[in-house]
């Protein structure tokens, strides 16, 4: 499988925040979830790889080609949905479309109309009057209407209710079924990813903590619950993080067999992505 | 085709899926040339990663249970099935060997052993 995106040594500094040596790659035909808490660098990373923010150092290659040299050609193949949408509020959706469509050589008017109907959006409605969910649908319509092979989205599900989120997941699944497509999106609602993601990338403090297959990640980590008297200096080291209350402890481990050797009467469960994410962030990325 | 994934099991997801698919093929519930779902559809329905299904398909192909044709799909390959059934038979034969050794040391006759086997076999059904 080839990589649709390769990022290496990406650096970007702001006054109070910086991305340091961000490197990762996305596999073709995979949905990759980009997770991290607020302010961890998700949006900065996405804006930098799309060329919307100037990077200080690093290379970004889409489909094997350098983004700096082939920006126009590559952007045709990428559909993106950004946090704020970047729309002019005073325009109608039809007017906004007529500004965006000419920017793509592969614009497909039929796809555009199909999605507008599927999402029951009326072209004459002003963008300022759209609800959060409708704005996202409109942004997605534009992103999907130029035969893009890669969708990149920044927090597309934030502010959406569970029903809308589930509809969004169905749209992504349909998109992937066309074959040869890939999706990369950031989110802090990790339950979305439990169902749909193939790969998970975790970023914290501007650094990538891991880039792993979702199922492998869950197979290799366990949520352990047990009595506090199991905890000592040695057994504590087996956990990424530990929460203790008067009733016992809960912790995330990636060394289950050692835990089972050293602890008695414990409950072992499969973790969610959120459990693992918090384990790495609270544990300081051990 | 029935495949159930356990969320409390310690067996890795890909192993659970692979074992169940193998059983389906060995029991003859799917036969030579039957198509398997596309990797994406399979993954979506089981709510697992496409990478997991890809791994299952790759390993089953290496073991001769299925064949995949680029751009067309993945199919059951029962050509080797006789061979695979034979290997299963060998596993049972080995266990029987142990059984016979145990019976001989305990001075249980062949007839008695057959009788016991018949009763147990039918009880299980």
pLDDT tens digits, one per residue of A247-262: 999 999 999 989 999 9
For the stretch A261-271, pLDDT in tens is 999 889 999 99
Helix (H, G, I), strand (E, B) or coil at A122: coil
The per-residue pLDDT for A1 is: 62
| Burial class of residue A95 in the structure, from the number of CB atoms within 10 Å of its CB (0-12 exposed, 13-18 middle, 19+ buried) | middle
Tell me the count of A-B CB pairs closer than 8 A.
Answer: 41
Helix (H, G, I), strand (E, B) or coil at A215: helix
Torsion sign across C-alpha atoms A149, A150, A156, A162: positive
Report, as an integer, the average pLDDT of A76-92.
85
Q: Mind telling me how many Å the CA of A270 is from chain B's nearest CA?
A: 6
The per-residue pLDDT for B125 is: 59
How many angstroms separate the CA atoms of A182 and A158, rounded? 21
Torsion sign across C-alpha atoms B21, B23, B28, B33: positive
The answer to whether ipTM exceeds 0.90 is no
Cβ contact (<8 Å) for A215 and B52? Answer: yes
Angle at CA of residue A118, ends A165 and A156, nearest 5°: 30
Any CB–CB contact under 8 A between B14 and chain A?
yes
User: What percentage of chain B has pLDDT greater than the value 90?
Assistant: 34
Longest dimension (CA), chain A: 67
User: Considering only CB atoms, which chain B residues are within 8 Å of A269?
Assistant: 8
CATH superfamily label, A3-213 = P-loop containing nucleotide triphosphate hydrolases (3.40.50.300)
Any CB–CB contact under 8 A between A16 and chain B?
no
Each domain of chain A, given as residue ranges in start order, spans 3-213, 222-270
User: Considering only CB atoms, which chain B residues are within 8 Å of A254?
Assistant: none
Cα A10 to Cα A20, A31, A70, A205, A209, distances in angstroms: 7, 22, 18, 14, 15
Phi and psi torsions of B71, nearest 5°: 80, -10
Residue B64 confidence (pLDDT) above 90: no
From B8, B38, B49, residue closest to A215, measured CB to CB: B49
For the stretch B12-62, pLDDT in tens is 999 999 999 988 888 878 888 899 999 999 998 998 999 999 999 999 999
């Amino acid at each position: 499988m080839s990589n649709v995106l390769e990022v290496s040594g990406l650096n970007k500094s702001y006054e109070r925040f910086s991305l340091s040596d961000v490197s990762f790659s996305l596999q073709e035909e995979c949905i990759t979830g980009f997770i991290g808490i607020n302010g961890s660098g998700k949006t900065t990373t996405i804006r930098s790889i799309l060329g919307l923010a100037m990077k200080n150092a690093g290379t970004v290659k889409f489909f094997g080609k350098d983004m700096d040299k082939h920006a126009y050609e590559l952007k045709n193949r990428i559909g993106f949905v950004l946090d704020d949408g970047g729309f002019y509020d005073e325009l109608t959706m039809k007017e906004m479309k007529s500004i965006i469509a000419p920017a793509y050589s592969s614009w497909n008017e039929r796809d555009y109309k199909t999605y507008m109907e599927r999402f029951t959006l009326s072209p004459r409605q002003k963008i300022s009057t759209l609800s959060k969910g409708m704005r996202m649908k409109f942004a997605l319509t534009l992103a999907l209407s130029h035969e893009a092979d890669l969708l990149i989205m920044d927090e597309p599900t934030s502010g959406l209710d569970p029903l809308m989120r589930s509809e969004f997941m169905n749209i992504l699944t349909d998109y992937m079924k066309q074959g040869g497509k890939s999706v990369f999106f950031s989110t802090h609602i990790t339950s979305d990813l439990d169902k749909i993601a193939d790969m998970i990338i975790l970023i914290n403090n501007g650094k990538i903590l891991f880039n792993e297959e979702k199922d492998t990640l869950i197979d290799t980590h366990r949520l352990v619950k047990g009595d506090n008297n199991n905890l000592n200096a040695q057994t504590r080291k087996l956990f990424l993080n530990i929460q203790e209350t008067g009733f016992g402890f809960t912790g995330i481990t990636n060394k289950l067999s050692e835990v089972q050797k050293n602890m008695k009467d414990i409950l072992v469960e499969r973790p969610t992505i959120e459990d693992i994410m918090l384990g790495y962030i609270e544990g300081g990325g051990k | 085709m029935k495949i159930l994934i356990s969320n409390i099991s310690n067996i890795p997801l890909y192993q659970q899926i692979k074992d169940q698919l193998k059983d389906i093929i060995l029991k003859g519930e799917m036969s030579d040339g039957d198509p398997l779902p596309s990797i994406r559809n399979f993954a979506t329905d089981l709510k697992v990663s496409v990478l997991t299904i890809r791994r299952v398909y790759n390993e089953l192909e290496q073991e001769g249970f299925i064949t995949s044709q680029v751009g067309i799909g993945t199919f059951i390959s029962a050509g080797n099935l006789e061979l695979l059934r034979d290997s299963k038979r060998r596993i049972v034969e080995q266990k029987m060997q142990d059984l016979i050794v145990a019976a001989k040391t305990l001075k249980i006759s062949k007839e008695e052993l057959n009788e016991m086997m018949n009763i147990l076999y039918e009880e299980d059904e």
